[in-house]
Amino acid sequence: MKQTRILSIVSANGHPEGKNYEKRFLFLTINADPITLSPMKLMTKQLTEKLKKAGSDGMVPICKLFTPWGAATWLITGIEGGILYGFADLGMGCVEWGGIASVEELEAIKGPLGMTIERDLYWQPKEGVNYFELETLAAI
């Protein structure tokens, strides 16, 4: 259901004493239907196949996961036995490599307002980066 709302905006036109008021109207059409949010699917079939091929020995990140409400970042390098492997930075100033968790465990984590961990859809691994030497993964 769409609704049109009228907002009136009063402006003092930049006058320091607030004289010369000007009234403007803004017409907004909004969709009043309820919004439902569904969590992002962390792993696609294609991505899972790439991660399985790399296994637990992969050292080149294939995808990036992050918490939109905080500083936690994971660069996933492989999957073996249902466990994701890769570089983890929980926002405490150190990057670690190893087994992280299962996809199901990461999908079950809920942040404020029900937010979930997300996958950076546009992230690409950078060539020549030694991820072991980084202090943080947040800006990578």
* Locus of tokens 């465990």: 105
Q: What is the pLDDT of residue 25?
A: 52
Q: What is the pLDDT of residue 2?
A: 54
Ordered by start, the domain boundaries in the chain are: 2-31, 45-133
Q: What is the pLDDT of residue 24?
A: 57
Q: Which amino acid makes up residue 109?
A: I
Residue range 85-113, pLDDT digits in tens: 999 999 888 889 999 999 999 999 999 98
Assess contact for 29 and 37: CB atoms under 8 A.
Answer: no
DSSP summary character for residue 87: E
Measured distance CA(54)–CA(78) in Å, rounded: 5
* Segments of the chain with pLDDT less than 70: 1-39
Q: What is the pLDDT of residue 10?
A: 47
pTM comes to 0.71
